[in-house]
Amino acid sequence: MGDAPTPVMFAIVTTNKEAVYGGMSPIFVAQDELERDRIAMWLTRITNCIAHDLHNGTIILTVNQAGGA
């Protein structure tokens, strides 16, 4: 039996650019929550990733990476 898929951070969408920095994921800075939600929605539709709202102005998007065999 193989390992369960591992979630990998794909992107970050935020309204507060000072709250998020560094890392290897692209960061999309939105002007307000409406734009943040719209960007996250389109990224999930285009890439089939999952959005996770951190309830601090930031949404992280993850994809599942297949476990090693």
* Residues in the chain, overall count: 69
Confidence of residue 2 (pLDDT cuts 50, 70, 90): low
Is a pLDDT exceeding 60 seen at residue 4? no
Return d(Cα 50, Cα 63) in angstroms, integer.
Answer: 6
What are the b/e assignments for 19-35, b being 16+ CB within 10 Å? ebeeeeeeebebeeeee
Query: What would the pLDDT profile of 29-58 be if each residue is shown by its tens digit?
Result: 999 999 999 999 999 999 889 999 999 999
Domain segments of the chain as ranges: 8-63
Tell me the two tokens of residue 38.
């719209």
